Structure 1
C-alpha cells in the first residue's frame, strides 16, 4: 500500500565522468589525429631511410652485383634515379640520415621497442655510417686529384644549372629539321677572340637536348665561349650512328663561318661532353684532327683543329655497354640499328678506341667508379689504350659516383670535374 506522505520518488544524478561530453570527444579525436600524424611521420622517415640506404648500398657494393637488376629497364631506371639523387644530395645525405635516426631514437624512447621505431633506427643508422664513410673517402680522393678541399657539397640541396644562353642560333637545316645551338659568351670585354668549347649533351643518343648545365655559363664566366649544340637523335626507325658526329662537325663549320661575328678563336677549340656527349666529344675531336670527319653541312676544310677533348663518363665502348643493361641495349638498337653481332662495322665506327691516332688531342676523362650505365672498367681500359698510343691524357675516377653525377646539382663530382677541366683548358687552349 502506497504511503502518500513519502512524496514522489527521487533519483540522484551521477557525477560527470571526465573525458565524456563534447570536450572529451574533441580531446579523443585530437589524440587520434595526433597518433595518425606521428605514425605517418615515422613511415615517411622510414621511406627516407630506405632511400638513403639503397643509395649507399649502390655506392659501396660492386657494380657487378647489380647486374641481374640492370637487365630489367624499369628497375634499372629506378636504381639510376636513386643513385643520381644520392650524388646530388652529396653531404646532405648525412643530415637527412641523422634526422631520420633522431626520429627513430625519439620514437623508441616515447613508445618503447616497437617494430617501426626499431626498423627506422637500424636502417637510418646504417645509412648514416655508410654515408659518412663514402663522403670522407670522396673528399680525400678529390683533394688528391685536384688539390682542393670540398668539405660539404653541394652548398644547398638544389639545382645548380647556370644562366640562359646569350644567343640561340640555327646552325643548319638537316633532314628537314632546324638544328639549334646555344652560345654562351664571356661577359668581360677582351681585345682578343675567346677560345671556344663545343659542348655536346648526353642522353644515350636517343634523348636529351642543349640547355643550361652546371658547366655552360660557368665556362663562359671563366673566359671561354661555349657553343652548346643539338644533333639529330636516333629513334626506333632512324639510326643516327653515322650522322650524330657529322652534325656536331656541321655546328663547328658554322662556328668557323661566324667566328668574327661572335669573337670566337677557332685556333683554340676544345670539345666537351658527358655520356653519349662524351663519346661524341672524343670521336669528333679525334676524327676532325685525323681528317676523317665529314660534317653534315659546310666543308671539311672549315673544321678547326681540336686542341683538347674532355669526356665525363663517356660511352667509349658501346659494343660492350649495350650488353650490360636494358637501357644500353635500347640505345644500341636505336642508335646503331641492332647489336654488335649484326652490325660490327657500325659499332667499329662509333667505338672511340677505333678513332685513336697520333693526331688525337690531349684528352681528359672523368668517370664515376660506381657507374651502373657506363662501367668504369671500360673507360679505364680506353685510357690504357691512350697510354699505349702515346696520346696525352688524364683519367680520373671518382669513388662511389654514379653515371650523370653532375646532372642536377653542384655536388662534389661537379666541383671535381670543374677543378680538373679548368687547368686542362688553360693548358691546351689558353684562356
Structure 2
C-alpha cells in the first residue's frame, strides 16, 4: 500500500507557483509601464515635430490664449534643446512598441505606440537633415549631431559683477566676462530678453565663449516693465547708462571702446538694435552719465528680435501682456510710444552692420516680421545679414549647444571679426 504522505503535495509547490505568478504579474506591470512611457515619448516628439513643421499661422487660436500658448512654447523649446537626441528617443519608443507588438500580437496600444513613434522618427530625421543642410549653407560648418550630450551647457559664470547705477531706487548690475589677454579687448554689450517684463543677466552659451575668443562682455540688467511702471522709454536708456559706466572704467578693464558691439535675443535683440542705431545717430540720452560718454557701436547681433512691437503685441497672448506692462497700452492708444520702440523707425544711414538670426517656427516673434525688417535695412542701404534657421522656436539657444546655438556661434564670430575687429 502506498503511504498517504506519497499522495500529499509537497509544501514547497504552492509557494514556488505563487512566486512565479507574482513574478509574471510584476513583469507585465513593468512592460505596461514601459509601453506607456514609450507612448508619452512618442506623443511628445510627434507634437514637437508638428509644431516645427506646421505654419505658425495655423496655431493662431492657440497662441491667443496664454494658458495654451505657454505649453506650446515650452514643449517646442524643450524640443530644440534636445535636438538630435529626439531621434534616439523616437527610436527607443519604436523599439518598445515593436517588441510589445510581437509579444502581445496586434493589440491596440502597442500598435499605436509603434505607429506614432515611427512617424515621429521619420519627421525628426527630415527636420534634422534640413537643419543640418541649412546651417551648413549659412556657416560652412557641418553640425551633424547636436547637442553632443543632452545635458545643459551654458558656460561658466562671470568673472565679476558690478553695480553700474541706481535708478528709480533700483540698483542695476552688470556681469563682466574678461578675456585672458594683456592687450585691450573689444567689448560686446549683452542684453537679456524676457519680453521687457522678465528675465535678467546671467550665463548663456555665448558669454564666457566670447571671452575665451578674446572679446570682453558687459552683460547688463535694465529696469523691467510692471503693471504700474511702464519702461518703454527707459530700457534703452538704462543700457546706454551701463555703456557710460563702461567708458568710465575702460582703462581699468582694458576695453577698446573703438571696438564695441551690442548683442541680445528677443527683447534684448530689440534693445541691441535700438540702442546701437540711436547711439550712432546721436539720438539716445542715457539714464546716467552723458551722451558724450557713449561709445560708437560698430556691429549688432540680434537673435529673434522683437523688431515690430506694433504688430507683434496683438498676435499672441504674451504679446498682449507685454503691451500692457512695458508700453502701458495698445498701439491704438499710444502710437507714439510704439513708434519710439519699433526698430524700423530707428534706421538711419549711420546704423551699424547688423546680423539677425531667427527661428523659422517662432510662435512668439514671427519670422515674417523679422525678415521684413531685414528687407527694410537692405532698402536703406544698411549692411545686414538675415539668417532664418528652419524649424526652430523662439529662444532656441538658451541652455544647450544645439544646432541653433552652434549656428549662432558660427555666424557671430566672423561678424565680430569683420566689423569690430579681432578679439
Please classify the TM superposition score into its range, dividing by the shorter chain length. over 0.9
Please give the per-residue CA displacement for 1:386-419, whole angstroms capped at 9, x wherever unaligned.
Answer: 0111000000000111100001201000000110
Cα drift, residue 56 of structure 1: 0.3
1:95 CA drift (Å): 0.8
Is structure 2 residue 255 aligned with structure 1 residue 273? no
Q: Which residue of the other structure, out of 247, 259, 280, is the alignment partner of 1:256?
A: 247
Q: 1:29 aligns with which of 22, 25, 39?
A: 22
Give the Cα separation in 1 of the matches to 2:296 and 2:150.
Answer: 40
CA distance in 1, matches of 2:12, 2:72: 51
1:294 aligns with 2:285: yes
Alignment root-mean-square deviation, CA: 1.4
Deviations 1:115-159 (A, max 9, x none): 110111011001000000000010001010111111111110111
Cα drift, residue 253 of structure 1 = 0.2
> What is the CA–CA distance in structure 1 between the aligned matches of 2:200 and 2:353, rounded to whole Å?
26
Match of 1:166 in 2: 159
Number of residue pairs the alignment of both structures matches: 420
Counterparts of residues 134-173 of structure 1 (less than 5 Å): 134-173=127-166
- The C-alpha deviation readout for 1:145-198, integer Å capped at 9, x for no partner, is 1111111111101111011101100000011111000000112x233x100000
Match for residue 79 of structure 2? Answer: 86
Larger Rg over CA atoms: 1
- Matched with 1:122 is 115
Match of residue 361 from structure 1: 352
Q: How many Å separate the matches in 1 of 2:333 and 2:30?
A: 58
1:370 corresponds to: 361
Which ranges of structure 2 fall in alignment gaps of 5 or more residues? none
CA distance in 2, matches of 1:108, 1:56: 24
In 1: Cα distance, 2:62 partner to 2:295 partner? 44
- Tell me which residue corresponds to 1:400: 391
Offset, 1:23: 2.6
> CA–CA distance in 2 between the matches of 1:313 and 1:427?
22
Runs of 4 or more off by more than 6 Å in structure 1? 10-13
Matched, 1:190 2:182: yes
Q: Distance in 1 between matches of 2:8 and 2:370?
A: 83
Report the CA distance between 1:12 and its aligned residue: 8.3
Structure 1 unaligned regions, length at least 5: 1-9
Match in the other structure for 1:7: none
Query: CA 1:183–1:426 in 2, change beyond 3 Å: closer, same or farther?
Result: same
The answer on 1:328 being equivalent to 2:319 is yes
Change (3 A) 1:72 1:19: farther
Query: Do the aligned residues in 2 keep the contact of 1:46 with 1:100 (CA within 8 Å)?
Result: yes
